[in-house]
Amino acid sequence: MNTRRDFPENFIWGSATSSYQVEGAAFEDGKGPSIWNEFEKGHTAIMDNGTGDVACDQYHLYKRDVAIMRDIGFDAYRFSLAWSRIFPEGTGKMNPKGIDYYKRLCDELLANGIEPYITFYHWDLPLALQQKYGGWQSRECVKYFADYVAETAKALEGRCKNFFTVNELLGCVDQGYLNGICAPGLRLSKKEHNQVRHNMLLAHGMGLQVLRDIVPDARVSLAENPVFFTPVLDTPEHVDAAKRAFREVNGHFLTAIMEGGYPDSYLEAEGADAPIVQDGDFKLISAPMDFLGLNIYYGKLVRYAPESEKKYEIFNFDTSSELPECSVIFQPAVIYWGCRIINELWKPKEIIISENGLSNMDLPAADGEVYDIFRIKYLRSYLESMSRAIRDGIPITGYLHWSFLDNLEWGSGYRRRFGLTFVNYRTLERIPKLSAKFFKELIRTGRIA
């Protein structure tokens, strides 16, 4: 039997969720409403009239969930805190029952040998901050975010050391404040929207700083989903084109963080609509991170185009799926190329894949098992690509699958099932899918099963 490992012994395996998508208990034990509880009102914002009121009810069933994670053998669980569970109004007095839930969840994880990886902001802003200050449109909100991070980190008393400040800037800023498909559902002007982008960068920077001050051995990053690029060929001119495209297209988010300022290409393109930057902002925003969390699903192809002004051409049409049953774009090479390009541009200390996965219509078969063979095909291919990156010396140290459970996929509702574990939304029963067994083997042997 072949016993060669595909991944190092100390590689971190785990999975991820977010508060609004799995917790439920939306108004229990003093939790305040978030912008998503408001956005879903009238049941038009979420497909099939879904709401986050119950979701997977992880708030009550967390012990059951941790037991499943332990059985799979996970080293880590990435989850987010519902800010309005801890501070119902976003600021002011801490809700003891809210913070107590997260303490219990961390304790349960730790008792089962699973490291908590906490995300402070996964899109569910306290509604009060939206109503009083216009949410991330104002710097007040950024200040309150830093206070929330500081007070929460203190209250957790060292239970957690690995943190993501914010999750997917594009998802919460552009979809929430520009095209209105996510909460708070706004369609701002270009100038206002750019300011929200900047304020979120600052929230990351301020969050990082307070975590450094409060948790001595904290490891901090954000979980970002830049637009990824794969060169059409692995030749120097095409790889170079992919790097330039990556740097410019992500100029207002990841490039700004990694380089401590907006690239000229962004400032020139935005002109008078560029955000107002105050003294000291970029010192915070670009403070070194301990690792870089990347949510990687798919990307775009790019070629060196000597005839064009930018000297590269992006192909937007690569949305083919080899897996027609799935609502994903199947591009395994994106893990390799995404990590390689970032590594060549900025040499992050470590990279953790903070999300990767696919949704499908997985349902139990007659024997009660869930045979999610497409997820297994997907995993095999994406993990091969990750293994190739590690062999090339790219410092990927962990992989957190999205998602641990089927859950509420924002405006797409409950139909798109992303989990390694099936959830029956009527009974809340959990069934680990075949892919959970695949993971168990992967973790046990260090080989792609």
Residue 313: active-site member? no
Stretch touching ligand NOJ by CB under 6 A, among 165-173, 196-204, 251-259, 269-277: 165-173
* Tokens representing residue 89 in the block: 């109004």
Q: How far is the CB of 375 from ligand NOJ (least distance, A)?
A: 13
Q: Which stretch binds ligand NOJ (CB under 6 A): 54-62, 152-160, 164-172, 362-370?
A: 164-172
Using the rule CB under 6 A, is 295 a contact of ligand NOJ?
yes
Residue nearest to ligand NOJ (CB): 168
Please report how close the Cβ of residue 258 comes to ligand NOJ at its closest, in angstroms.
20
Site string for ligand NOJ, 352-391 (x = CB under 6 A): ---x------------------------------------
The DSSP H or E segment spanning 246 is helix 236-249
Please report how close the Cβ of residue 140 comes to ligand NOJ at its closest, in angstroms: 25
Question: Three-state SS for 437?
Answer: helix
Among 116, 229, 409, 417, binds ligand NOJ (CB under 6 A): 409
Stretch of residues binding ligand NOJ (CB under 6 A), selected from 59-67, 131-139, 163-171, 362-370 = 163-171
Compute the distance between CA of residue 159 and CA of residue 105 in angstroms, rounded to an integer: 10
Please, which of residues 327-346 interact with ligand NOJ by CB under 6 A?
A: none
Selecting among 168, 224, 237, 322, the annotated active-site residue is: 168
Complete edge-to-edge strand list for the sheet that includes strand 299-304: 228-231, 299-304, 312-315
- Kindly give the interhelix angle for 96-111 and 139-155, rounded to the nearest 10 degrees: 50
User: What's the CA gap between 434 and 446, in Å, rounded?
Assistant: 18
Rounded to 10°, the helix 139-155/190-214 angle is: 20
Q: In this chain, which stretch among 44-52, 99-107, 166-174, 316-324 interacts with ligand NOJ, using CB under 6 A?
A: 166-174
Stretch 54-93 residues interacting with ligand NOJ (CB under 6 A): none
**Total residues at the site for ligand NOJ (CB under 6 A)?**
10
Nearer to ligand NOJ, 91 or 403 (CB): 403
Residue 230, classified by CB atoms within 10 Å of its CB into exposed (0-12), middle (13-18) or buried (19+), is buried
Q: Does residue 355 have an active-site annotation?
A: yes
Compute CA distances 34 → 86, 196, 292, 413, whole Å: 12, 18, 27, 17
| 8 Å CB contact between 195 and 275 | yes
Query: How many CA atoms lie within 13 Å of 357's alpha carbon, on the beta-carbon side?
Result: 28
Looking only at the bridges linking them, the beta strands covering 292-295 and 115-121 are unpaired
Among the listed residues 91, 167, 194, 195, the single contact to ligand NOJ using CB under 6 A: 167
In the structure encoding, which two tokens stand for residue 216, read together?
A: 């001595």
Taking residue 60's Cβ as centre, other Cβ atoms within 10 Å add up to 15
Work out how close the CB of 269 gets to ligand NOJ at its nearest, in angstroms, rounded to a whole number.
26
Examine residue 18 and tell whether it contacts ligand NOJ (CB under 6 A): yes
Rounded least distance, CB 412 to ligand NOJ, Å: 8
Which amino acid, one-letter code, is at 409?
A: E
Q: Which spans of this chain sit near ligand NOJ (rule: CB under 6 A)?
A: 18, 21, 167-168, 171, 295, 355, 402, 409, 418
Active site residues: 168, 355
